[in-house]
Structure 1
Amino acid sequence: MILTSLDDDKAEDVVSIDLHGKTQMADYMVVCSGRSSRQVGAMAEKLVDRLKQDHGRICKVEGKDQGDWVLIDTGDIIVHIFRPEVREFYQLEKMWMTPGAPAEHA
């Protein structure tokens, strides 16, 4: 559902990372980009609304007001929505991916 929502909102370079065995904070991490701060904020807002309405999930959200990097914590999945420049700077995918394993592009 998360990947569908992001795809519907034209998220770019969507990557899903399996966190099983790497951390207990979540099962998966999804990282994607929006073209502007406005798009990043809108994608985050729509995703949070869909999760609440369709699944009754109340998510923790950080960074929505700035729109450079929004973190959405659903409990078992963590979603990061970045502006491309900010995503390149932090390179979260490299930190969490298993060395030698390809990214799971959605």
Structure 2
Amino acid sequence: MTPAEPNPAPAGTPAPLPAAVPGSLHAAVLQSLDDDQAQDIVSIPLEGKSSIADHMVIASGRSTRQVAAMAQKLAERIKQQGFGHCRIEGLPAADWVLIDAGDVVVHLFRPEVRSFYNLERMWAFGDSGNA
């Protein structure tokens, strides 16, 4: 391996997030989740593949309390940054919280619930073979 080549990620390590356009709603969502120590953040581009949103972001929290707090802070930050109001579903139980911010849809899970529903696999476009 030459110094110019990046080190490959160890097996089981999540892929790096795609670069978000600075100042975009997508970037604001990713930054908020990172600030709140969300785990295993995955961003799935939907532009041209689905009309529901341009991006789907999936992340985990360590507990229902953290999932609820991340969802509420995310909605506040999106509003403060001028991207408008979000719709939030699932907040009372906080096992799976959906935040619809328009062009970005965010799913926040407790880890067990996330692995059960496995949205990443369901929405993996163009992945070959892994059925």
TM-score (norm 1): 0.91
Aligned counterpart for 1:78 among listed residues 93, 105, 112:
105
Residue of 73, 91, 104 corresponding to 1:64: 91
For the pair shown, which has the larger CA radius of gyration, 1 or 2?
A: 2
C-alpha RMSD over aligned residues: 1.1
Question: Partner amino acid for 1:82?
Answer: F
Moved over 2 A (4+): none
SS in 1 for 2:74: helix
* Structure 2 residue aligned with 1:49: 76
Q: Aligned residues, how many?
A: 101
Q: Does 1:18 align with 2:67?
A: no
SS across alignment from 2:81: helix
Q: Tell me the CA shift for residue 99 of structure 1.
A: 3.5
How far does the alpha carbon of each residue in 1:39-81 deviate from its partner, in whole angstroms, 9 at most, with x for none?
A: 0000000000001111241011000111100000011110000
Q: Specify which structure has the higher proportion of strand.
A: 1
Q: Which residue number corresponds to residue 104 of structure 1?
A: none
- Matched position secondary structure for 1:55: coil
Q: Which amino acid is the alignment partner of residue 91 of structure 1? A: N
Which residue is equivalent to 2:63? 36
Residue in 2 that maps onto 1:5: 32
SS at 1:58's partner residue? coil
Q: Does 1:92 align with 2:119?
A: yes
For normalisation by structure 2, the TM-score amounts to: 0.74
Q: Which amino acid aligns with 2:77?
A: R
Point out where structure 2 has 5 or more consecutive residues left out of the alignment: 1-27
How many Å separate the matches in 2 of 1:56 and 1:32? 20
Match status 1:27 vs 2:44: no
Give the helix-richer structure, 1 or 2.
1
